[in-house]
Amino acid sequence: MPCPAMRESVRRFWGRLRPRLLLALPVLLGLASLGFGVSAWRADSANRSIAALEAGTDLDVGIGAPAPVLVARIGYLAGHGRLEETEPLVAALDRAGAADAASRARYRIANAQMREAFGLLTRGALDKAGPQVTLARQDYRRALRDRPDFWDAKFNLDVASRLIRDFPDFDRASGDEMRAEPKQIWTDIPGQPRGGP
């Protein structure tokens, strides 16, 4: 049981502290509200930018924009065939250490390169399609380096790798390390036993 002198000391301390707390509390709550308000405004601004870019509006964002906005901008540029403009944005994501966002950005770039390659293939331009597929494969690998569990990138890398083997006229001296002989394509099919197909 505390002694009367201790109780008196605590009561005097609380008496001096209480008016200061009553004055400081509204200021602290006001600052917290202001911080939450600014954070909500930034999030709303980023969401509006992402929605505008995904709706097809050409919205120029700086390299200091939040990572999701940069990914949306990269997706817009890649979808409109402006791949050279994506390089500084991906570099900004790398510098910021946003590995997940950089992975999604590289995936979108690789998809744009594959769409271009498929367009070239339908027009019969095999020589021009090969480098696009090789670039796409490299970007899919970079996306997987940043995010190894990215299943869509794994699947698309597999499609791009098989596309190169299905069209042996592509230049194989491009420095891509995954090579297979055309005679051995059937051995890569999952579930097929070695021997005859």
Give the per-residue pLDDT at 2.
Answer: 61
Which of 51-55, 70-74, 144-148 has the weakest average pLDDT? 51-55
Give the per-residue pLDDT at 193.
Answer: 52
Give the per-residue pLDDT at 110.
Answer: 94
Q: What is the percent of the chain where pLDDT is above 70?
A: 82
| One-letter amino acid of 41 | W
Look at residue 107 and tell me whether its pLDDT is greater than 70: yes
Tokens coding 80: 């409109």
Look at residue 18 and tell me whether its pLDDT is greater than 70: yes
What does each C-alpha distance from 79 to 58, 61, 85, 164, 190 come to in angstroms? 11, 16, 12, 23, 32
Look at residue 68 and tell me whether its pLDDT is greater than 80: yes
Of 152 and 170, which is predicted with more confidence? 152
Helix residue spans in 55-150 (DSSP H): 67-79, 87-96, 99-122, 126-146
Q: Tell me how crowded residue 97 is: count the other CB atoms within 10 A of its CB.
A: 9
**H helix or E strand, kind and range, residue 73:** helix 67-79
Look at residue 171 and tell me whether its pLDDT is greater than 80: no
> Whole-angstrom Cα distance, residue 32 to residue 20?
18
Which 3 state secondary structure label does DSSP give 194?
Answer: coil
- With a CB cutoff of 8 Å and minimum separation 6, the contacts of 165 are 180, 182, 185, 188
